[in-house]
Amino acid sequence: MSAPLLEAIALRTWLDGSGGVVRALDGVDFSIRRGETFAIVGESGCGKSMTALTLARLLPETARIVDGTVRLDGDDLLALPEAAMRNVRGRRIAMIFQEPATSLNPVLTVGHQIGEVLARHLGLRGAAARRRAAELLDAVGIAESGRRLGEYPFQLSGGMKQRVMIALALAGEPDLLIADEPTTALDVTIQAQVLELLRDLQRRIGMAILLITHDLGIVAQMAHRVAVMYAGTIVEVADRDAFFRASQHPYSRKLFAALPGLQSRGAELAVIPGQVPPLIGEFAGCRFVDRCEHAFDRCRVEAPGWAEIAETHRVRCHLRSRERAGALEARPGAAAAALAPPETRPALLTLRDLEVHFPIRRGLLRRTVGHVRAVDGVSLELRPGRTLALVGESGCGKTTVGKSILQLVRPTAGSVAFDGVELTRLRGEALRRRRGDFQMIFQDPYGSLNPRMRVADILSEGMHALGVHGARATADQRIGELLAQVGLDAGARDRYPHEFSGGQRQRIAIARALAVSPRLIVCDEPTSALDVSVQAQILNLLARLQRETGVAYLFITHNLAVVEYLAHEVAVMYLGRIVERGTVDEVLTGPKHPYTQALLSAVPTIEGGREKIRLQGELPSAVTPPAGCHFHPRCPRAHARCRERYPGDTHVSPTHSVRCFLYEEEDGRAT
């Protein structure tokens, strides 16, 4: 085996935080071979991004590399003077980052930004540089590259910006590309495009990729080898196949078990108890010990070294070194609870042709020149005690649907009937009286709790406003019950939100909604800001609460795995309209609409195996939606009729309907 391209040995990087020194990296070693994709996977705060910045020596000012060696082709990068290091950056190591929207300089043209790399590292200037830049844009799949060179980043869509970032990285013809969560900020169909581009480029150019991600699905699709990171160190390294077939570290196994999906439906997801330990000192033993169900005495007193499972598979765990592997064999999960029987009660919530249009004002007199059709005729039904998932990519209008149900955004047309009462016509006090019936949980656990209020005040706010549990004593008692219900201890009531982790905050937000005993909760991406293991806790909680209280959920999400796990029915939204709906089984296992099919195939999964349908382009603007079927410009199966009018609703089964011309013939008519 040839020498590796890059070798990192015992990296230690410390950060000066307000609470003392944080040992963000505490002994990280790995190596990357030429032309391979090496993935580092881990949850937020484990140090994976810090690893990338340490390799390129681009750390923030509060961080410093304390110890370690980075060898790139034999050169010790950490020993190079800064001037020599600049010859490495962009030339031998290139980087792309998570947020393409902020990673490009907003006031410089695309051509200028690529040209800088060409001039700096290849000495290309003028027409030659321009030609080369255009080639690079072609290579990353940007059409009309000549024109795009003169454009500014704000004129490009999110996916295109990330393509430009990749072009920028390729410009120096690097040996190693560090991609730090390159698709996390992108929609799933765009993510699929970008990942495919990276794979394709690697095949053609043969550069190595260090891929940093939190998504095991992406790892399964992209990586040749995988490293799992936890609390500032790498705990397991393996070939992809070995890793997905038989991961060895208890933490790695928990990550898999925490993934929601069809297979775990109705059962509790595995959770990792406790939290990542603070990285402020030396660890005497294994840093996972407090959360590990297999821990034994030695784990507390001795930090585990590398145990070799196979030539290419190593793990930092005493279980392996002592051949106690038997303990690790998967235990059967809790028996899948029987699915709730089909609900026959009348609908709790009915949306009919709901429209939310935001006016666009322009010109001298601020006249309305157009509308953003955020929601453009949505009809839905949700029965008591059930979960309806509203699925779609960002900008499709799904959050606006949720807010307009709660009348936080007033619909411009259509009807929202809750328990037979038309909410859009209610005003003032009449609406206020109803508000206890429907509540909302928000995406960002940091923005959804007022940082200046105690938990008890946060929970009692709704009760006060709606006049439930008027007496102080009963309100106090109710707060205690709520905290217990969401799994927080009673001491939480007098603390402030900043003292809680993201998952705990989301529990508080759930308790706040529960406080007024709603019959419907609109959950707006409640787990998308959380790590996988925390997400599992919240999903378990939501499922349990539904069983206990019979609350109905409108679950807004882009994460299809969560839908599979939690929802009873699904509605798929595209550009303000619902294109397909039905039960989870119907839609997710037998999708009819080409968009649903593409969406499903774009999700990177561990199993793989789905037929790949790649969509071209990105979500069009909701101001000027394409004529006819909104999806036709991206649809692989579009034909002439699709350009003329929007297809009607076609029922493929009593519970499954789709709006697509492909099925109209079968049914014979549009409803």
Partner 1 sequence: MTAYILRRCLYAIPILVGVNLITFVLFFVVNTPDDMARLALGAKRVTPDAIEKWKAEHGYDKPLLVNAQASGVAQLTDTIFFQKSARLFVFDFGNADDGRNIGYEIRTRMWPSLALALPVFVVGLAVNITFAMSLAFFRATRYDFWGVVLCVAMMSISTLFYIIGGQYLVSKVWSLVPISGFAPGADAAKFLALPVLVGVASGIGSGTRWYRTIFLEETGKDYVRTARAKGLSELDVLFGHVLKNALVPILTGAVVVIPLLFMGSLLSESFFGIPGLGSYTIDAIQAQDFAIVRAMVFLGSVLYIAGLLLTDISYTLVDPRVRFA
Partner 2 sequence: MTLVPLWIDALVWLLVAVTAAYAWYARRQPHLAAPWRRVGQSGSGMAALVVLAAFAVVGLLDCVHYRPRLPAGPGGVPVYSVEVRSVLDALLAPLHARAERTYSAPLAIRAYARETVELSGGRLQRGYPRLQYAGVGRADEAARDRDVLLRSLAGAALGLVAWALAAVGWTALLARREGAGLGRMIGAIARGETAFAWRAVLLALLAIALVAGPVALLAREYHVLGTDKVGQDVLYLALKSIRTAIVIGTLTTLIMLPFAVLLGIAAGYFRGWVDDVVQYAYTTLNSIPSVLLIAAAVLMVQVYIDTHPDRFTAAVERADLRLLFLCIILGVTSWTGLARLLRGEALKLRELDYIQAAQAFGVRHGRIITRHILPNVMHIVLITVVLDFSGLVLAEAVLSYVGVGVDPSMNSFGTMINAARLEMAREPMVWWTLAAAFAFMFALVLAANLLADTVRDALDPRVRVGALAAAGGAK
* Footprint of partner 2 (CB under 8 A): 403, 406, 408, 431-432, 435, 438-440, 442-444, 447-453, 461-462, 465-466, 496, 498, 509, 512-513, 516
Asked whether the beta carbons of 628 and 615 are under 8 A apart, the reply is no
Q: Is 116 in the site for partner 1 (CB under 8 A)?
A: yes
Give the interface segment with partner 1, choosing from 100-108, 207-215, 443-451, 592-600 (CB under 8 A): 100-108
Buried b (16+ CB within 10 A) or exposed e, 633-664: bbbeebeeebeeebbebbebeeebbbbbbbbb
d(CA 596, CA 601): 9
The two most distant CA atoms of the chain are separated, in Å, by 79
Query: Which of these segments, 15-23, 85-93, 490-498, 658-666, binds partner 1 (CB under 8 A)?
Result: 85-93
Q: Is 9 helix (H, G, I), strand (E, B) or coil?
A: strand
Per rule CB under 8 A, count of chain residues that contact partner 1: 35
Does position 103 interact with partner 1 (CB under 8 A)? The reply is yes
Q: Which is nearer to partner 1, 362 or 464 (CB)?
A: 362
Q: For 303, what's the count of Cα atoms within 13 Å in the CB-facing half-sphere?
A: 9
Residue 516's binding partner out of partner 2, partner 1, none, with CB under 5 to 8 Å set by partner kind:
partner 2
Q: Return the structure tokens found at 612.
A: 């790949």
- Name the nearest CA neighbour of 202 among 33, 89, 35, 5: 35
Q: Which amino acid is at 60?
A: P
- The nearer residue to partner 1, 366 or 472, going by C-beta atoms, is 366
DSSP state of 316: -
Binding mask 352-391 for partner 1 (x = CB under 8 A): ----------xxx-x-------------------------
Segment near partner 1 (CB under 8 A); pick from 1-9, 92-100, 554-562, 605-613: 92-100
Nearest residue (CB) to partner 2, 36 versus 525? 525
For residue 556, the minimal CB distance to partner 2 (Å) is 13
Based on the shown chain and the rule CB under 8 A, indicate whether residue 88 belongs to the binding site for partner 1.
yes
> Token digits for 501?
């982790």
444 binds, among partner 2, partner 1, none (CB under 5 to 8 A by kind): partner 2
| Best CA proximity match to 596, nearest among 610, 607, 606, 608 | 610
Site for partner 1 (CB under 8 A): which residue of 12, 48, 71, 121? 121
* Pick 156 or 538: Cβ nearer partner 1: 156
Q: Which is nearer to partner 1, 106 or 326 (CB)?
A: 106
Considering beta carbons, is residue 117 or 551 the nearer one to partner 2?
Answer: 551
Tokens 């990792």 locate to 272
The reply to whether 639 sits near partner 1 by the rule CB under 8 A is: no
Q: Report the distance separating Cα 194 and Cα 191, nearest Å.
A: 5
Q: Which two tokens stand for residue 37?
A: 């994709």
Q: Kind and range of the H or E element at 553?
A: strand 552-557
Neighbours of 400 (CB within 10 A): 22
Q: Give the 3-state secondary structure of residue 11.
A: strand
Q: How far is the CB of 348 from partner 2 (least distance, A)?
A: 17
Neighbour order of strands in the sheet with 413-418 = 367-382, 349-362, 413-418, 421-422
Using rule CB under 8 A, residue 102 touches partner 1: yes
Indicate the residue among 100 and 414 with the shorter CB distance to partner 1: 100
140 interacts with partner 1 by CB under 8 A: no
* Residue from the set 76, 131, 144, 155 that interacts with partner 1 by CB under 8 A: 155
Partner residues linked to 390 by β-bridges: 556, 571
Could you tell me the two tokens for 460? 């009692």
For partner 1, give the closer residue by CB, 171 or 416: 171
Question: Shortest CA distance to 29 belongs to which of 38, 37, 20, 21?
Answer: 38
Among 34, 86, 294, 298, binds partner 1 (CB under 8 A): 86
Question: Which helix (H) or strand (E) covers residue 464, if one does?
Answer: helix 455-466
* Strand-strand pairing, 656-658 and 577-583: antiparallel
Binds 105: which of partner 1, partner 2, none (CB < 5-8 Å by kind)? partner 1
94 contributes a contact to partner 1 by CB under 8 A: yes
Q: Which is nearer to partner 2, 199 or 435 (CB)?
A: 435
Contact residues toward partner 1 (CB under 8 A) are 56, 58, 61, 83, 86-91, 94-95, 97, 99, 102-108, 116-117, 120-121, 152, 154-155, 165, 168, 172, 362-364, 366
